[in-house]
Amino acid sequence: MNRLRELVATFFYTGYAPLAPGTASAAVAALICFAVLVLAPPLCWFILGIMIILALAGNAFSADWAQKRFASPDPSCMVIDEALGMFVSVFLISTAHTLILVLGGLLLFRVFDIAKPFPARRLERLPGWLGIMLDDLTAGIYANMVLRAGFFCYNMFQG
Pairwise CA distance, residues 79 & 97, whole Å: 27
- Mean local confidence (pLDDT), 3-26: 97
Q: Is the pLDDT of residue 159 over 90?
A: no
- Mean local confidence (pLDDT), 21-33: 98
Pairwise CA distance, residues 95 & 92, whole Å: 10
Q: Is the peptide bond before 117 cis (omega within 30 degrees of 0)?
A: no
pLDDT at residue 118, rounded to an integer: 94
pLDDT at residue 113, rounded to an integer: 96
pLDDT in tens, 97-147: 999 999 999 999 999 999 999 999 999 899 888 999 999 999 999 999 999
Going by the DSSP 8-state scheme, the letter that residue 9 receives in this structure is H
Sign of torsion, CA 57 4 114 86? negative
Specify the length of the chain in residues. 159
